[in-house]
Structure 1
Amino acid sequence: MSLGTLVENDKRYAEAFKMFREASDQENKMKTWILQDFSKLIKSTFLLKIEQNIVEMMGIGSGFGQMDMHLFDVIGNINHKINELVVEPNVVEIEKFKSSIASSVEYSNVTLDILIVSVFGKKMFGNQWRYFPTGRDIEEIIDGLGLNYMTDVINSKLDISECVDGNSDNGKLLLDFITHADYFSERASPELEKAIFEALDSNEYCFKEDVLHG
């Protein structure tokens, strides 16, 4: 049975993304970085170089916009208008984002331009099919444009404990998001599934805890 693309199933993508957020400490790490490091950086350097009162942003895979809104909070506190181009494959998530902006007075200075992309391109990455760009892919594009930029790496951990239990619906959703394949557990060959688990087990940012079932 061939693997489907998760981004083509809006409902399951949203469910898988929710499971990923619960299993990872990524959001907490990013929020801390935004409120501490980014806040200091943008006040001391970035905004001082903007001649007009408008900040142009681009969000890659913004989801429902939680991290973007933390960025808006920091930038907005310095009284700048914000225009953001959002690249996001999931219609369900982007509608949540748009609704949050439209219903919040504090984001009246924000304008969103939405670009929905179903698949960025498919290629083999290690033992995984990859349907989305990495930070390095984006850096290569910026390099090609000859733009100046700064990078910062935020390391986060992912709890893959549920993935070990073949009967766990949460584990199946998490595997879907990790592989960006629709119903991966049901459709993947034993060889591919084994390769994915070997890749996860060897990843320093993934960990497993004992999962108890009554």
Structure 2
Amino acid sequence: MAAEAKQTCYEGSSVQSFQFYLEQSGEHKAILQCVHSILPGEFKRIGAGKSDLSVLGVGSGGGELDVQMLSLLQSSFPAVPITADIVEGSSQLTANFKALVAKTTNLQKTPFAWHIMNSEDYEEEVKSKGDMKRFDFIHMVQMLYYVDNLGKTIKFYHSLLKNNGRLMIIIEAAGGGWDTLWKTYKKELCVDAITEYRSSAEVVACLKSQGLKYEEHTIHNAFDITECFDPNSATGERLLNFMTAKDHFYQSFTQEIRAGMLDLLRNKCSTEKDGRVFFNSNLSCILVYA
């Protein structure tokens, strides 16, 4: 990706910030519970009668979820060859993904095609080559915040689905903590990589406007942000940095804005239990039919 392009993926210090967030939030665990309950049935429908299967991951990060989904697909169809294409803009996270594949015994024979670029560059490349490889299963986990045109992106990836394929979108749930924080403080937060915050509400509206058939499942998740209210807590500050997409929460906003955000986080985005504050981090898993 060109140096002057806006950063739409994690590199450098943002990789550490993202991985710290994943450890603290339990987000991947929550997503995997959903994946393991929904995808086996979906995969049986998608793969019925097919002699080979192809998967496309868009914004796959370090591949922790992809490896699980590919293993699940493989266990559903042990005799059917599977190929995987991965679109990920971060060279660091792609390297992590490759290392993970190297350690995953059952994926040693799965051919991977790596596209180290953002999703819009991939779209341009596919269209310019005219080589429209199609896929049985496409997943976009937590990446639609970074695209310029939501409708165009969904339309393009949906067009790559094979007969009976599925596009799985995972995104923050409408009305959840992230949605409340980022829409309330849009002016302060939507200034860098994310210029327009989206939740499942915007995705569903987009699918309806395109007349696409879909089903939606809630992924319940909450994580402890009590430390965020202690100005001396390094953990609290690191969480606030990630949640506001800033390197330094305390230096990035005026005292008034910081106080307003912390009040909102405590009173509108979270619930309290046994003296601890738990941020509502529900997600939405949206399965779009071919």
Superposed pair shares fold, TM > 0.5: yes
Instruction: State whether structure 2 residue 66 is matched by structure 1 residue 68.
Output: yes
- Label 1:63 to 1:168 Cα distance change in 2 as closer, same or farther (>3 A): farther
Cα distance in 2, alignment partners of residues 206 and 177 from structure 1: 21
* TM-score, length of structure 2 as denominator length: 0.57
Give yes or no for contact 1:176–1:182 (8 Å, CA) kept in 2.
Answer: yes
| 1:193 to partner: Cα distance | 1.5
2:160 matched to 1:160? no
**Equivalent pairs, count:** 200
Matches within 5 A, 1:82-97: 82-88=83-89, 90-97=90-97
| Deviation at residue 97 of structure 1 after TM alignment | 1.0
Structure 2 letter corresponding to 1:91: S
Residue identity matched to 1:73: S
- Where does residue 139 of structure 2 map in the other structure? none
Measure how far apart 1:175 and its partner are: 1.1
Report the TM-score, using the length of structure 1 for normalisation: 0.74
Deviation at 1:75?
0.7
Query: CA distance change for structure 1 residues 154 and 8 in 2, over 3 Å: closer, same or farther?
Result: closer
Counterpart in 2 of 1:175? 240
Q: Give the 3-state SS of the residue equivalent to 1:152 in structure 2.
A: strand
Which residue is equivalent to 2:282?
none
CA distance in 1, matches of 2:255, 2:41: 49
Q: Distance in 2 between matches of 1:105 and 1:192?
A: 50
What does residue 276 of structure 2 align with?
A: 209
Please give the alpha-carbon distance, in whole angstroms, between the structure 2 residues aligned to 1:17 and 1:206: 25
Bigger RCO of structures 1 and 2 (CA < 8 A, at least 6 apart): 1
Match of 1:190 among 240, 244, 255: 255
1:1-214 residue pairs with structure 2 within 5 A? 10-43=11-44, 45-48=45-48, 51=50, 53-60=52-59, 62-77=60-75, 78=77, 79-88=80-89, 90-107=90-107, 108-117=109-118, 120=147, 125-128=183-186, 129-130=189-190, 131=194, 133-139=198-204, 147-201=212-266, 202-204=268-270, 209=276
Unaligned runs of 5+ in 1: none
Q: Per-residue CA shift, 1:161-195, capped at 9, x if unaligned?
A: 22112122222221121111222222222232223
Q: How far, CA to CA, are the matches of 1:19 and 1:161 in structure 2? A: 16
| Distance change (3 Å), C-alpha of 1:159 and 1:70 | same
SS at match of 2:276: coil
Give per-residue Cα distances to partners, 1:130-166, cap 9 Å, x unaligned: 4165444555565666554433221210211221121
Describe the superposition over 1:91-142 as per-residue Cα deviations: whole angstroms up to 9, x where unpaired.
3222201222245442232424334449545xx6221424165444555565
- In structure 1, the residue corresponding to 2:219 is in which secondary structure? coil
| Structure 2 CA distance for aligned equivalents of residues 144 and 94 of structure 1 | 34
Query: Structure 1's 98 and 9: CA in aligned 2 closer, same or farther, altered over 3 A?
Result: closer
